[in-house]
Amino acid sequence: MNPSGLEALIEALRCLPGVGPKSAQRMAYHLLQSDRLGARRLGDALLHALDAVRHCQRCNTLSESDLCDRCASPHRDSSLLCVVETPVDMNMMEQTLAYKGLYYVLMGRISPLDGVGARELGFERLLDRVLDGAVKEVILATNYTNEGEATAHYLSAMLAPRGIRVTRIARGIPVGGELEFVDPGTLAQALRERKSFAE
């Protein structure tokens, strides 16, 4: 039988996404047997993050200050607001170097099976942000999953009647992709969302 401290560590590691009982056990044994210094750094970093990191007051992402660096920047286009599901999605958008507006991070998506609706995601806070007078266009960049689509449709229905331009990121064939390797659903969507060659 494992010591209670080890059992508690294994159980705690299981809260991580994609980590089951066996993976958690391997991680716990590794940290305690081979990398105690790494385990201490991990514990210290986690405690520091829990104390220091909170939500940005404007975009809801994770930040150590009231306003994150993007919201505080005078170089961002405040008329554009891109709505994403998670901070990771926001970081991916930033890596494109194609978007210079601001963001709002939902910290989730509508998922009735998981008991997550508009109230749990704080859509009223998003609405206040959109109606601040500066935003002219909201770009819905939720994922193309059933939940992401439901979230985008709900937000579009909520925002469009208020005179705000609402757009959705396109989907289709990836840059550098070859048709023979593209799944039929993606190819069909690319055909439906085709545009003029001159655009």
Per-residue pLDDT, 70: 96
Q: How confident is the model at residue 81 (pLDDT cuts 50, 70, 90)?
A: very high
Tens of pLDDT, residue by residue over 56-66, are: 999 999 999 99
Tens of pLDDT, residue by residue over 152-187, are: 999 999 998 998 999 998 887 777 777 778 788 878
Would you say residue 199 has pLDDT above 60?
no
User: Coil, helix or strand for 40?
Assistant: helix
CATH class of 4-52: mainly alpha
Structure tokens at 128: 């206040």
State how far the Cα of 169 lies from the Cα of 92, in Å rounded to an integer: 13
- Among 161, 160, 183, 159, CA closest to 173: 183
Structure tokens at 187: 């190819």
Q: How confident is the model at residue 189 (pLDDT cuts 50, 70, 90)?
A: confident
Q: What is the pTM of this model?
A: 0.82
Domain segments of the chain as ranges: 4-52, 74-168
User: Coil, helix or strand for 116?
Assistant: strand
State how far the Cα of 51 lies from the Cα of 118, in Å rounded to an integer: 28
Does domain 74-168 correspond to CATH entry 3.40.1190.20?
A: no
Tens of pLDDT, residue by residue over 19-77, are: 999 999 999 999 999 999 999 999 999 999 999 999 999 999 999 999 999 999 999 99
Per-residue pLDDT, 96: 86
Would you say residue 128 has pLDDT above 60?
yes
Per-residue pLDDT, 44: 96
State how far the Cα of 68 lies from the Cα of 91, in Å rounded to an integer: 13
Vertex 183: Cα angle to 177 and 188 (nearest 5): 95
Q: How confident is the model at residue 198 (pLDDT cuts 50, 70, 90)?
A: low
- Which residue type occupies 25? Q
Tens of pLDDT, residue by residue over 1-16, are: 566 899 999 999 999 9
Phi, psi values for residue 64, rounded to 5°? -95, 0
Per-residue pLDDT, 27: 96
State how far the Cα of 81 lies from the Cα of 27, in Å rounded to an integer: 40
Per-residue pLDDT, 188: 81
Mean pLDDT of 101-106: 97
